[in-house]
Structure 1
Amino acid sequence: MADDEDQESKTESPSEKKMRDAAEHGNLPISREAPLFATTLAFYIYFVFFMPQGVATLYQTLRDLMEKPDQWIIGTGTDVISLFVHLGWSMAAMLGPALLLFMLFGLTQSFAQHLPSFVLDRITPKMERLSLIGGIGRMFSVMGFVEFGKSLFKIIVVAIIMFVSMRGQYFGALDAMLSDPQIIFVKLSDIVQEMLIIVLFATGLLTVMDLGWQRYNWYQKLRMTRQEVKDEHKQSQGDPVVKARQRSAQRDQARRRMMNNVPRATMIITNPTHFAVALRYVRTEMEAPIVLAKGQDLIALKIREIAEENNIPIFEDPPLARSMFAQVSVDSVIPPIFYKAVAEIVQRLYAADSKNKRRLR
């Protein structure tokens, strides 16, 4: 009941990450009927195309052994080994193709469903798998009823096949055996082929239905609640609160680094109170001024305070301060559109320096 309520709360489709994680842990939709279909198909091909020749070869070997014993001299151990080797090759000629076909079709059906992968979780012992209560719960779950239905379907199909095939062929095979005993093998071969064809059709249909059901059930089990979707989004994209704190810390760090550069400025351009831009220009070191710091309101006032503490000239030019604050980034050279306005301030700065030097003389 708890599982049903939990499943009802899963209203969201599974994310790609959840399906990928499930695949990495070996949780994949696999049809248990596909191996039966592959085995039946392999046996049908073997029975029709390979078995007659193999049986004929083995039959001829045994016939020669019985009818011509003088050709098989068994006087030493080597002769015995030679006889068994010959019989072994005859058996291999009959059974070898069957083994190869079963292996080939078994691998093909497995690869057709999913590529092979080694998953440690699938072979790690888990106590819940040994739980009696858990086992009973699985027996009476939806999957348990589905597996029971498939088994019942296979039993019914086999019974119907046996009834239909034998009902039409029984008396014909009996008459053939009485008239010509050698024909009985041909009749039996026809009956077996007919049964195999019907079994192939039934198992193929069951495999397709089972594969569709397995995929549907797998998808339903991976569905997520809204909270799970939110939690996964936080894990993949990052918690918005944490990211906001990180961005705030980064801004604070950048602001502290910027304010530490203010004492290196050669001039401050202000609004006068709302904006402040700290520039550094040394004619022998650079071709154009560089913005070391900029700020608005409280940060602008802090830049002015640092400038006053370090005796850095402050020039009031509201239009220039607003424009540079909006268009020039910190640690960037000012664009050419500001050359003329800044050059006038630089001239005023040099003129003031020259006047101060003359006063000192």
Structure 2
Amino acid sequence: MAETTDQESKTEEPTEKKVRDSLEQGKIPVSREASIFASMAALMVIQMFLIGQGVQQLTPTLKSLLDDPEGFPLATGADAQNLLTVVGLEALRFLVPLLVVLLVFGLASSLLQNAPNLVLQRIMPDLSRISPVSGWNRLFGTQGLVEFAKSLFKLASVTVVVAFVLRSSEAKAFEAMYTDPVALPEMILNIAMRIVSAICIATIVLVAIDLAWARFHWRRELRMTRQEIKDEHKQAEGDPLVKARLRSLARDRSRQRMIASASRATLVIANPTHFAIALRYNREENPAPLVVAKGMDVIALKIREVAEKNRIPVIENKVLARALYEAVQVDQVIPAEFFRPVAEIIYFLQSKQTTRPEKVQ
């Protein structure tokens, strides 16, 4: 009941991160029926193209062994080993192509469903897999009921197909009683091919339904609650409170560095209490005055305090201070339109040869 309630609360579609994490952990949608269908298709290919040729190659060896058993000496252990080697090599030559076809079809059924991904976590021991409670839930849960329904459908389909094929081959079976025994293997192979082909055709619908169900069930299992989406967003973007605090600390450190840089200024242009712009002018460093600090209200007062402490001239010019504050940036030279008024102030200060902080109206 608790599991059902928890699943009902997951009403939101999974995020891209949730889907990506699931794929990386090896939790992917897989259709078992696709693998079974691939095995049946491989068996059909083997019957059509390999089994006849393989039997023809194996027949001479078996015939010589059965017709002339004395031709193979078994007096010593080495003789027995040689006989087993010959028989084993012939059996391998017959079986290896069949196994290769089965392997190729099996890999294709997996690769066509999902891209290959090595996940070591999936092969680690997990006690929940041997838990009776988990096993009970798997058997009698939604997935267990679906698997049971698919098994019933497969059983019914295979029974109907085999019965239909055998009934249609009933006449040939009676004729086989009066035909040459050499023709029996070919007749049996033809009937087997018809049965396997009919089963493949009958299970195509089941495979298509199972593929769609596997994708749907996988997406449903990945659904998230709204709280999980919020938590994931916080984890990806960072806690807004923490980010705001970090930004505040960064601004404080930037202001402190800027205020400390005001001690290198040549002059400070200020609105009495609202604006302050600290400029440094050195012909060897920059062709125009450089803005080393600027601020408003409390920051402006701090800049003026640093200027007075370091005996830097403070020029009060309301219009120029406001215009500079809006137009200039820290660590940049002043725009060209301010060259003349600032140059006049610098010329005035140099002509006065100021040796202590002063206010000029």
Check whether TM > 0.5.
yes
Asked if structure 2 preserves the Cα contact closer than 8 Å seen for 1:158 and 1:199, the reply is yes
Structure 2 match to 1:41: 41
Structure 1 match to 2:186: 186
Q: CA RMSD in A?
A: 2.1
Q: Distance in 1 between matches of 2:125 and 2:75?
A: 56
- Pairwise CA distance, 1:76: 6.0
Note the residue ranges of structure 1 that are not aligned, 5 or more in a row.
357-361
- Pairwise CA distance, 1:293: 0.9
Q: What SS class does the counterpart of residue 182 from structure 1 fall into?
A: helix
Deviations 1:237-278 (A, max 9, x none): 111111111100000011111111222211111123211101
Q: Distance in 2 between matches of 1:177 and 1:31?
A: 43
Q: What SS class does the counterpart of residue 112 from structure 2 fall into?
A: helix
Q: Distance in 2 between matches of 1:251 and 1:355?
A: 34
Going from structure 1 to structure 2, the CA distance change for 1:126 and 1:63 (only over 3 Å counts) comes to: closer
Question: Counterpart amino acid of 1:316?
Answer: E
Q: What SS class does the counterpart of residue 279 from structure 1 fall into?
A: strand
Question: Counterpart amino acid of 2:312?
Answer: I
Does 1:348 find its partner at 2:348?
Answer: yes
Structure 2 match to 1:170: 170
Does 1:111 find its partner at 2:78?
Answer: no
Going from structure 1 to structure 2, the CA distance change for 1:125 and 1:179 (only over 3 Å counts) comes to: closer
Question: Counterpart amino acid of 1:203?
Answer: T
Structure 2 match to 1:359: none
Superposition TM-score, scaled by structure 1 size: 0.91
- Pairwise CA distance, 1:285: 3.9
Does 1:154 find its partner at 2:165?
Answer: no
- Pairwise CA distance, 1:64: 2.6
Q: Distance in 2 between matches of 1:66 and 1:124?
A: 50
Q: Percent identity?
A: 45
- Pairwise CA distance, 1:14: 0.8
Structure 1 match to 2:197: 197
Q: Distance in 1 between matches of 2:98 and 2:301?
A: 91
Asked if structure 2 preserves the Cα contact closer than 8 Å seen for 1:269 and 1:278, the reply is yes
Q: Distance in 2 between matches of 1:3 and 1:75?
A: 70
Q: Distance in 2 between matches of 1:40 and 1:209?
A: 17
Going from structure 1 to structure 2, the CA distance change for 1:295 and 1:181 (only over 3 Å counts) comes to: same
Question: Counterpart amino acid of 2:276?
Answer: A
Structure 1 match to 2:228: 228
Structure 2 match to 1:307: 307
- Pairwise CA distance, 1:81: 4.2
Question: Counterpart amino acid of 2:309?
Answer: E
Q: Distance in 2 between matches of 1:257 and 1:15?
A: 42
Superposition TM-score, scaled by structure 2 size: 0.91
Asked if structure 2 preserves the Cα contact closer than 8 Å seen for 1:177 and 1:183, the reply is no
Structure 1 match to 2:131: 131
Q: Distance in 1 between matches of 2:111 and 2:26?
A: 14
- Structure 1 residues 333-342 or 40-49, which shifts more? 333-342
- Pairwise CA distance, 1:202: 2.7
Q: Distance in 1 between matches of 2:289 and 2:322?
A: 17
Going from structure 1 to structure 2, the CA distance change for 1:354 and 1:195 (only over 3 Å counts) comes to: closer
Going from structure 1 to structure 2, the CA distance change for 1:192 and 1:230 (only over 3 Å counts) comes to: same
- Pairwise CA distance, 1:37: 1.3
Structure 1 match to 2:359: none
Q: Distance in 1 between matches of 2:279 and 2:161?
A: 95
Structure 2 match to 1:261: 261
- Structure 1 residues 97-106 or 59-68, which shifts more? 59-68
Q: Distance in 2 between matches of 1:221 and 1:354?
A: 79
- Structure 1 residues 240-249 or 116-125, which shifts more? 116-125
Q: Distance in 2 between matches of 1:181 and 1:123?
A: 51
Asked if structure 1 preserves the Cα contact closer than 8 Å seen for 2:311 and 2:355, the reply is no
- Pairwise CA distance, 1:191: 1.2
Question: Counterpart amino acid of 1:347?
Answer: Y
Q: How many residues align?
A: 356
Deviations 1:311-360 (A, max 9, x none): 2211122222122212221122222222112101111111121799xxxx
Question: Counterpart amino acid of 2:67?
Answer: E
Question: Counterpart amino acid of 2:157?
Answer: V
Q: What SS class does the counterpart of residue 294 from structure 1 fall into?
A: strand
Structure 1 match to 2:27: 27
